[in-house]
């Protein structure tokens, strides 16, 4: 059967349905959905619709925070999406973020360099650390056929504990964090802070924009991207066409890891200014799976779905302040994923509705 609706249409419908279902859930638990939507809108635009006309109806701090929170999950979205395009499921973005972040911290703690070298070096090392962490499951898959899903899940835990060990081992670290990183390595900006009401917005957004462009370019425009997509859809045919399948699998996982490693740099050099010992996963990698799925594994899709999930994530504090439990935002996220995953069924339901409508028009 021919596919008639594209991913964008179905995704928008999925989002709409999940908002409706979430509203029902809220009504059932005695919460006014209006507050939810107002909070979400305020988070993503800075505009408080209830205070329009009043002096402080706009607060740029919300906008800055919203973008800042969206940055790492866009990158993990690219990470998961890149592997998806090669037919691989990178559940390891979580670990790659941690290891990448540690890489950036090491450069930030140990070196004293002019910023023009220090920042790019820290970012590059983060990408390389992440790439290495992605390459391990990639090469195991390529050479021995080991499931990348299993290996990446195990490497997430390895990354969590190895990362904490390395953070604590750096000179001057205590049990919670490292010393403050050299300011020449940081993405933080007083200027960006000042125009966004003291939010944590940092220069990392430039890195993310570049990453989105690079992703699109590699996947859609290069012979390498063509090979990756071919391997992703049909390994046998790719091999028949002369493509070195196992090397492409290893490369793909390494590049996916590099994108996640960059997300680690965003956190270590932008959101924070020190390396942190973390007690548990912070879900940046898992958010990336959702972002990639909704975004259809394209750069533009990941950008917009990153904004949506970033908005839901960053609106949680505002919602909590208005008495909405933070689980509501999680429920909405989960519903979106559920309905996007159901897009075939959705397509079918829409078909039936259209057919019924047509019949009605005919009989009238």
Partner 1 sequence: MDNYVVEMRNITKVFPGIIANDDVTLQLKKGEIHALLGENGAGKSTLMSVLFGFYQPEKGEIYVRGEKVDIKSPNIAHELGIGMVHQHFQLIDNFTVVENIILGDEPGGFLVDYDKARKEVIALSTQYGLGVDPDAKIEDISVGMQQRVEILKVLYRKADIIILDEPTAVLTPQEIEELVEIMKNFAAEGKSVILITHKLKEILAAADRVSVLRQGKYIGTVNVADTTEAEMASMMVGREVNFKVDKKPANPGEKVLEIKDLWVKDQRGLDALQGLSLYLREGEILGIAGVDGNGQQELVEAITGLVPIEKGEILLQGQSIVNERIKSRINKGIAYVPEDRQKRALIMDFRLDENIILKSYEKEPLSKGHILNQEEINKKGNSIIEEYDVRSSEGIDTIVRNMSGGNQQKAIIGREMDLKPLVMVASQPSRGLDVGAIEYVHKRLVELRDQGKAVLLVSFELDEIMNVSDRINVIYQGKITGNVIPEKTTVQELGLMMSGSKEVDLA
Under the rule (CB under 8 A), what is the footprint of partner 1?
Answer: 1-4, 221-224, 226, 229-230, 233-234, 236-244, 355
Compute φ and ψ for 202, nearest 5 degrees: -140, 175
For partner 1, the closer CB: 34 or 359: 359
Shortest Cβ 231–partner 1 spacing (Å)? 9
Shortest Cβ 270–partner 1 spacing (Å)? 32
User: What CA–CA distance (Å, rounded) separates 55 from 313?
Assistant: 27
CA dist list (Å): 83 to 29, 86, 138: 39, 5, 10
Tokens of 288: 């990336």
For partner 1, the closer CB: 241 or 345: 241
Shortest Cβ 363–partner 1 spacing (Å)? 12
Shortest Cβ 359–partner 1 spacing (Å)? 8
For partner 1, the closer CB: 4 or 34: 4
Q: Single out the residue of 98, 96, 70, 47 nearest to residue 259, CA to CA.
A: 96
Tokens of 58: 């706009």
Shortest Cβ 76–partner 1 spacing (Å)? 25
Shortest Cβ 17–partner 1 spacing (Å)? 24
User: What CA–CA distance (Å, rounded) separates 170 from 37?
Assistant: 44
For partner 1, the closer CB: 180 or 247: 247
Give 144-166 as a DSSP string: H---HHHHHHHHHHHHHHHHHHH
User: What CA–CA distance (Å, rounded) separates 167 from 178?
Assistant: 6
How many beta carbons lie within 10 A of that of residue 144, not counting itself? 8
HEC letters along 345-357:
HHHHHHHHHHHHH
For partner 1, the closer CB: 89 or 240: 240
Shortest Cβ 307–partner 1 spacing (Å)? 28
Burial of 184 (0-12, 13-18, 19+ CB in 10 A): middle
User: What CA–CA distance (Å, rounded) separates 80 from 243?
Assistant: 22
For partner 1, the closer CB: 58 or 224: 224
For partner 1, the closer CB: 56 or 223: 223
């Amino acid at each position: 059967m021919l596919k008639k609706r594209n991913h964008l249409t179905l995704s928008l419908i999925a989002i709409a349905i999940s908002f409706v279902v979430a509203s029902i859930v809220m009504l059932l638990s005695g919460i006014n959905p209006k507050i939810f939507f107002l909070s979400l809108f305020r988070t993503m635009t800075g505009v408080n619709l209830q205070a329009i006309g009043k002096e402080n109806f706009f607060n740029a701090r919300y906008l800055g925070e919203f973008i800042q929170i969206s940055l790492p999950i866009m990158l993990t979205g690219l990470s998961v999406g890149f592997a998806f395009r090669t037919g691989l499921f990178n559940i390891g973005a979580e670990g790659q973020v941690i290891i990448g972040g540690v890489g950036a911290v090491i450069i930030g703690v140990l070196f004293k360099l002019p910023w023009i070298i220090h920042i790019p070096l820290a970012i590059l090392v983060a990408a390389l650390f992440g790439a290495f962490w992605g390459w391990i499951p990639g090469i195991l898959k390529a050479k021995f056929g080991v499931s990348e899903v299993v290996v990446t899940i195990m490497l997430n835990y390895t990354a969590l504990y190895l990362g904490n060990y390395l953070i604590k081992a750096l000179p001057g670290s205590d049990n919670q964090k490292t010393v403050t990183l050299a300011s020449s390595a940081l993405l933080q900006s007083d200027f960006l802070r000042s125009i966004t009401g003291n939010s944590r917005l940092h220069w990392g957004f430039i890195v993310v924009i570049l990453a989105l462009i690079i992703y699109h370019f590699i996947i859609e425009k290069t012979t390498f991207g063509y090979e990756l997509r071919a391997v992703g859809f049909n390994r046998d045919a790719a091999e028949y066409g002369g493509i070195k399948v196992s090397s492409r699998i290893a490369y793909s996982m390494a590049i996916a890891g590099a994108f996640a490693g960059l997300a680690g740099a965003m956190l270590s050099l932008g959101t924070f200014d020190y390396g942190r010992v973390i007690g548990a996963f912070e879900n940046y990698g898992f958010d990336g799976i959702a972002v990639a799925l909704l975004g259809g594994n394209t750069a533009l899709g990941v950008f917009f779905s990153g904004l949506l999930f970033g908005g839901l994530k960053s609106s949680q504090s505002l919602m909590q302040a208005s008495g909405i439990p933070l689980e509501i935002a999680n429920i909405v996220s989960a519903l979106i994923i559920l309905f996007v995953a159901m897009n075939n069924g959705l397509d079918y339901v829409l078909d039936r509705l259209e057919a019924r409508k047509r019949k009605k028009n005919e009989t009238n």
